[in-house]
């Protein structure tokens, strides 16, 4: 009888060790981050998307662009080549959600300021008001790091098309032939292929935390 219990004890120990190994393997498999989605126009609310592309279901990416930043420098898609970036739309005289969004973008800037792989890009929806000088004053006030974050102005039609045909993030104000834009609280996470990988409410701290976590997940795609 004693020998039986000794044998059973050995079996129990071996079984426990094997069980721990199996559980560890399954845990590591399950905790692997899932790839972030790639957003297409058909995935986004129609009020934010130009009617000509609302039903597009694949191959969407941010179009080429040429805009001017707070230092008077020309900013194009080449500025963001091989970069992950967070984009939004705002205007400097906004007194509602913009100050909150900008403060949250400042928080993101703090997290990525030493990361050469990540940048920020904010587009003005009132480019006539937001001159280079106005953007510079705003950038200084908010503590914008020029090498990390571009605040851009330029041709209103180009910004409108970027907003509604590329970033899928701005409402049309309904005025004919006016390129009227009603910006939203959206922050967009853009990958190195100029694809949209996430939308976030830029006024909410918990959404900023989610964005930063998604940023870590996205960076892992480029580790191999």
The per-residue pLDDT for range 75-106, each reduced to its tens digit, is: 999 999 999 999 999 999 999 999 999 999 99
Residue 145: pLDDT band (50, 70, 90) is very high
Residue 183 marked as a ligand binder:
yes
Structure-token pair, residue 147: 């090498």
Q: Are residues 10 and 97 in the same domain?
A: no
Residue 98 marked as a ligand binder:
yes
Is pLDDT of 212 > 70? yes
Residue 94 marked as a ligand binder:
yes
| Nearest of 131, 125, 133 to residue 156 by alpha carbon | 125
Q: Are residues 7 and 82 in the same domain?
A: no
Structure-token pair, residue 116: 């050469």
Q: Are residues 61 and 24 in the same domain?
A: no
What percentage of the chain has pLDDT greater than the value 90? 81
Q: How many structural domains does the chain have?
A: 2
Kindly report which listed range (15-29, 120-134, 163-177) carries the lowest average pLDDT score: 15-29
Q: Mean pLDDT, the chain, as a whole number?
A: 90
- The residue segments making up the domain with residue 6 are 1-30
Region 17-45 average pLDDT: 71
191 contact partners, CB below 8 Å, separation of at least 6: 38, 84, 197, 218, 221
Other C-beta atoms closer than 10 Å to the C-beta of 50 total 18
Is pLDDT of 170 > 90? yes
């Amino acid at each position: 009888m004693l020998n039986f219990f000794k044998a059973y004890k050995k079996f129990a120990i071996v079984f426990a060790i094997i069980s721990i190994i199996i559980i560890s393997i399954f845990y590591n498999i399950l905790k692997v981050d899932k790839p972030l989605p790639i957003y297409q126009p058909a995935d986004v609310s129609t009020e934010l998307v130009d009617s000509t592309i609302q039903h597009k279901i694949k191959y969407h990416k941010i179009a080429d662009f040429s805009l001017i930043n707070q230092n008077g420098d020309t900013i194009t898609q080449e500025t963001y080549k091989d970069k992950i970036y967070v984009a939004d739309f705002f205007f400097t005289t906004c007194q509602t959600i913009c100050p909150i969004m900008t403060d949250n973008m400042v928080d993101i800037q703090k997290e990525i300021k030493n990361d050469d792989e990540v940048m920020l890009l904010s587009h003005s929806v009132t480019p006539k008001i937001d001159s280079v000088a106005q953007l510079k004053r705003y950038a200084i006030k908010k503590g914008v790091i020029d090498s990390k974050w571009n605040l851009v102005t330029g041709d209103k039609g180009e910004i409108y098309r970027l907003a509604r045909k590329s970033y899928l993030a701005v409402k049309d104000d309904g005025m004919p032939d006016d390129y009227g834009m009603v910006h939203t609280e959206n922050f967009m996470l853009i990958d190195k292929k100029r694809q949209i990988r996430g939308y976030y409410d830029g006024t909410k701290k918990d959404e900023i935390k989610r964005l930063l976590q998604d940023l870590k997940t996205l960076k892992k795609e480029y580790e191999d």
